Amino acid sequence: MFSEAPFRGHMRSIPLVCIGITFCAVFCAGVLNAESAPPSATPQKPASTSATNAKTPIEPADNSYCYVCHRNYEKEKLTVIHTPAGIGCEKCHGVSERHSSDEDGITPPELMYPAVKINPFCIECHAVDPLRNRPEHQAALALLREKDPAKILTAGGVTKRLCTDCHGDHRLKVRTRRWDKATGKLLSDDGVRMMETGKPATLK
């Protein structure tokens, strides 16, 4: 006679097995789908860039070494305007280490500017276009266009043709040494020497 007792026991365990198999199938399918799914189309919020985009503060130029001898320029208008923007003496006149270390003052600065070179140097940083419709700048602009600027500078008539004729007062009132600004050759001096005669304290 066929007994139903063992069969009933197996029947009771079948639902549990099915539930386990179903759970495993669902779990594995979810993992596989997550790994193979394409990246989300929703753009991710970028990290804050305020720190990286912030402008680096401009460090004012340090002209203290030059002011030891050229104290008159410390409050001169061009110096006062350019120094906070990081434009100091070295930017225009070079490091001029031999000049600054010469106690006799015979060695010229590395860079000097004869009149014909002043305007071209200024427009290396300052834009010309905003000046084209301003009457007070026409003489300076004409000088820039002239193939022989020295010819205009020696002509009569307009006296304010250079940027420095109107902007600042960047000239020494008293000069004890005069150099040819184009060649650096010493043209004249007052004869005063701080060191031994004929031995200026220049770098070797």
Using the predicted structure, report yes or no on whether residue 13 has a pLDDT greater than 60. no
All residues at 6 or more sequence positions from 9 whose CB lies less than 8 Å from its CB, including other chains = none
- Predicted confidence band at 51 (pLDDT cuts at 50, 70, 90)? low
Burial class (CB in 10 A: 0-12, 13-18, 19+), 143: buried
Contact 64, 165 (CB under 8 A): no
Please state, for a pLDDT cut of 90, what percent of the chain lies above it.
Answer: 47
pLDDT at residue number 119: 93
- pLDDT (tens digit per residue) in 95-148: 999 999 999 999 999 999 998 899 999 999 999 999 999 998 998 998 888 888
- Predicted confidence band at 76 (pLDDT cuts at 50, 70, 90)? very high
- Predicted confidence band at 173 (pLDDT cuts at 50, 70, 90)? confident
For the entire predicted model, the pTM comes to 0.64
Using the predicted structure, report yes or no on whether residue 79 has a pLDDT greater than 90. yes
pLDDT at residue number 90: 96
Higher per-residue confidence, 88 vs 173 = 88
Q: What is the C-alpha to C-alpha distance for residues 60 and 185, in angstroms, rounded to an integer?
A: 32
